[in-house]
Amino acid sequence: MAVRNGVYMCCVGILLLYITGCFSLYEDQVGMFDWRQSFVGKVKFAHFDLSTHSSKRLFVATESNVLASLNSRTRAIIWRHVFEEEEGEIEALLHRGSYLISVSGGGRFVRSWDPNSGNLIWENIGKNTRDIDGDQKGTIKPVRISVDAIFASTGKKEDVLVLWVENTLKAYSLLDGSEMWSAVSRDTNNEFAMQHLQAFDAQVIVISKHDDVSIAVKKFSAESGKLVGEHILPADWLTQKTDDCIVVLQKNLICFDSISSNLQVMPIDDDSKLVNTISLSTLSVDDIAFNQPRLQSLGSHTTSWKDRPEFVLQLSSNHHLLLELKHDLTISLIKQFTDNVKLFASVLGDNALLVSMINTGSILEFQCFDLAKRKQISEMGQRFKLPEHHGKPEKAVLYLFSKKEGVGYRVLLVTSDHALILVQQPGRITWLREEALAMITATEIVELPFSPSQANFETLQEEFGAHPNGNCIAVRVTVLKQSLKRYL
């Protein structure tokens, strides 16, 4: 009798262990998703957080109207915001220190975000810049207009965000988002059709085509928005196709005239209307053959590049010129690239690194050029194989970081199939995000065969049967009773 009681006590103990180890679902969870994946989409803007040396944040804005912060070491999403489709696309993303600013909806929505948590700090909603769709009465659609945004110093403690929308220049306080001033163009000849927006010496500079033979330069006070100066630069070489101009060293506008093969250098802060014409034939260029030539600014993802004199003239996909603007407004040739390359650069302290990316089929090669010492750094080059079944890199963002031996770098790649890849020396892919999955247009459900654990569960059901109540505790009690019958 004592033995039988002991057996029953053991059975009760085992039953209690089964009950405490049981997991179940709440009623409102039945039929809900089994798993969930979050994506950001094809990256349009990307900024590595440079506020601290140990920061792991990467800020991105995408074509899917997503603003997000990623962990640059693990690829994980730290925080993410999906904007409403009716707002329109994200036109600008700016980051500096503790400020992270997004501009969307044709400049209507200006928002400041906390870089750490992604919380909204302030929001300024301007006038509605959207039209009523004539085909579907009552529906609205975003209107594509020219939008640009920069940070500007007022000469005091408080900096401002300067926004250009169509023919209006506005400044917002970075502290609370309040509009500080605005300047509206009423010119009938569309003189304010913005070409470039610059900020230096507590001034905001608007550079635009004045007419077919001149360029207008207007200077506004960053503190009050008042027009403090303007002058017209002669440009008889200007054509409707001459819209490829860049600003170098903050105060010099450089344009390329493909008809005469000349570079035009114009100081925008000088009322003397001086224009220096430089022919490519004087730069010892090997072959002057054009195929959609364009000028390229370097270091667009770091504000430190504003003090660097280097820029790139792309004559064709297989011919790039690395050039330097001198203080006397002359230009010298630093290096020629005759491969099919993409060039990008960044600055860290006194270090300025130019990286050329060569794509030869499935192999990607990075070559590094020290701009300060004007020499190739062979030990920093790297080669790696692109992941299979992925598109070619379309964009690249360079991130420099300090290490004991000097400077290291990581490269963020955006491919044609929307993948996001982070590459680190020596030719190692740190992580990859398949962001093409953010653009799914169709799905199909496929039934997969049973796994071994599922097949074992089906066997147990056939052997012991299902409890009429259908709950997991009753099923386990039934299985326990059936097992005990074999020993009692």
Of 431 and 16, the one with more pLDDT? 431
User: Which burial class, exposed, middle or buried, applies to 179 when counting CB atoms under 10 A from its CB (0-12, 13-18, 19+)?
Assistant: middle
* Tens of pLDDT, residues 148-176: 899 999 888 788 999 988 778 999 999 99
Residue 446 has pLDDT above 50, yes or no: yes
- pLDDT for position 137: 43
pLDDT at 456 over 70: no
Lowest mean pLDDT among 302-306, 331-335, 396-400: 302-306
pLDDT single digits (tens) 325-352: 998 999 999 999 988 899 999 998 888 9
Give pLDDT, residue 15.
59
Taking only the tens place, the pLDDT of each residue in 63-113 is 999 999 999 999 999 999 999 988 889 999 999 989 999 999 989 999 999
Highest mean pLDDT among 125-139, 273-287, 321-335: 321-335
Q: What is the mean pLDDT of the chain?
A: 82
Domains of the chain (ranges plus CATH)?
A: 353-443 (2.40.10), 446-488 (no CATH)
**Greater pLDDT, 460 or 217:** 217
Read off the pLDDT of each residue in 358-387 and give the average, rounded to a whole number: 89
**What band does 188 get if pLDDT is binned at 50, 70 and 90?**
very low
Identify any residues that bridge with 124 across adjacent strands, giving them in sequence order. 110
Stronger pLDDT, 335 or 302, i.e. the higher one: 335
Residue 363 has pLDDT above 80, yes or no: yes
* pLDDT at position 5: 62
Read off the pLDDT of residues 232-261 as tens digits, 9 standing for 90 and up. 888 888 765 555 788 998 889 999 888 888
pLDDT of residue 259: 82
Q: Which of 234, 243, 222, 242 is nearest to 271 (CA)?
A: 234
* 211 has pLDDT over 50: yes
**Over 70: is that where the pLDDT of 35 sits?**
yes
Per-residue model confidence (pLDDT) at position 47: 93
* pLDDT at residue 385 tops 50: yes
Residue 129 pLDDT > 50: no
